[in-house]
Amino acid sequence: MVALVEPPGTPVLELDTPALVMDIGKVEANIARMAAFLADKTCKLRPHVKTHKTAVLAHKQIAAGAVGMCAAKLGEAEMLVEGGVRDVLVANEIIGPKKIARLVALARHSDIMVAVDEADNAALIGAAARAAGVTVRVLVDVNVGQNRCGAEPYEPARRLARQVAETAGLRLCGVMGYEGHLVFLPDREEKGRKAREAMQKLTETAALIREDGLECGIVSGGGTGTHEFTAAYPGVTELQAGSYITMDGRYRDLGMPFDTALTVLASVVSRQRPNTVILDVGMKAISHEFGLPYVLGVPGAKVTRLSEEHGIVELEDPSVPLRPGDRVFLLPTHGDTTINLHDRYFVVRDGVLETVWDIAGRGKSR
């Protein structure tokens, strides 16, 4: 079944719904704003593709100065390489013979780089790389406080770095550490202090590795929520921000200096009660783990509940004339997971559909 999409030139309010609408002018402004922020810093951008999930936007980020991309999953990295991006970091552990075989295959077609947090995994990747006659670049993943993946900083990470460096088929390139536990802290002062503490662990671990005479040119970390602190921390060479490009309601509420460029266009499908409007966007078209979406442009309108295919909006003012067929823009509170529900972006400039992009990285959780 071919998806029915509107032709370029269609006014955004005439798009059928639900539609994931990307304001490309705002996206371009966000890309430029981050590039300007980093212009006077030694830290470069390595944007996270897990937000937008497309090669076309990755190339725009690289054209604006990004050193390469990072990906959460091997499938996202494959999508990027197939889309012509060469410098890709899989910022996660790649485990098991099937995925390691795919990783090694990527090394033939790109400058792939992968995170490791234990020696056994490093040895297996090295063996597969040697068998294939390639070299896989490696960052030692360091736990800087998130307590998810990552070797402990200082001696454990240093020991692992030595093991990586001694493994033929691998090239130790540096360290990475993601302070993901801090990106949503509401207090800017506290976030700054804790982000610096996290980056101190990472950079001091890098220094220990260099003391051993090993290469540790890359020190990679950070997200949109901590970008101003992480990118300014001496010795951090790469910033892994993703969400800044499209933004979302949660980051907007935190005052991040980027524009919200992503909405879900909804239609009213029922209005049987004066203070209640039912939309055709539910939890299968917009995520809500970070909070219910915001209604834009309708004062006093609030999403109070999502069912699978419906959004329930309560109105303060029953005279708001929303009728079946009328359009409403919803701002998602979490961009990454909302994008993951959709197959395509409706790319809009100045209120008019410019093009439609497949979200090739959607669902690439393998």
- Rule CB under 8 A: which residues touch a second copy? 1, 3-4, 16-19, 50, 72-73, 75, 78-79, 82, 92-93, 95-96, 98-99, 102, 117-118, 120-121, 143, 147-152, 180, 267-270, 272-273, 276, 278, 280-285, 287-289, 307-310, 312, 324-325, 336-337, 340-343, 360, 363, 365-366
Give me the least distance between CB of 91 and a second copy, in Å please.
Answer: 10
> Cis bond leading into 18, ω under 30°?
yes
Give me the least distance between CB of 302 and a second copy, in Å please.
Answer: 16
Nearer to a second copy, 48 or 227 (CB): 48
Compute φ and ψ for 22, nearest 5 degrees: -110, 120
Structure token digits, residue 238: 């790469």
Among 147, 141, 146, 127, CA closest to 93: 141
Nearer to a second copy, 232 or 264 (CB): 264
Give me the least distance between CB of 15 and a second copy, in Å please.
Answer: 9
Which 8-state DSSP code applies to residue 188? H
Nearer to a second copy, 179 or 280 (CB): 280
The neighbour count for residue 11, using CB atoms within 10 Å, is: 11
Among 226, 207, 101, 93, CA closest to 155: 207
> Cis bond leading into 318, ω under 30°?
no
Is residue 140 within 8 Å of 161, Cβ to Cβ? yes
Give me the least distance between CB of 59 and a second copy, in Å please.
Answer: 17
Nearer to a second copy, 2 or 39 (CB): 2
Give me the least distance between CB of 100 and a second copy, in Å please.
Answer: 10
Q: What is the CA radius of gyration of the chain?
A: 22
Q: At what angle do helices 97-107 and 74-82 cross, to 10 degrees?
A: 20
Residue carrying structure tokens 């834009």: 296
Give me the least distance between CB of 306 and a second copy, in Å please.
Answer: 8
Nearer to a second copy, 120 or 317 (CB): 120
Nearer to a second copy, 117 or 238 (CB): 117
CA distances 366 to 51, 96, 346, Å, are 16, 12, 26
Nearer to a second copy, 23 or 78 (CB): 78
CA-angle at 151, arms to 145 and 75, nearest 5°: 95
Nearer to a second copy, 237 or 287 (CB): 287
Which 8-state DSSP code applies to residue 245? G
Is residue 10 within 8 Å of 203, Cβ to Cβ? no
Give me the least distance between CB of 41 and a second copy, in Å please.
Answer: 27
The neighbour count for residue 360, using CB atoms within 10 Å, is: 20
Give me the least distance between CB of 52 and a second copy, in Å please.
Answer: 13
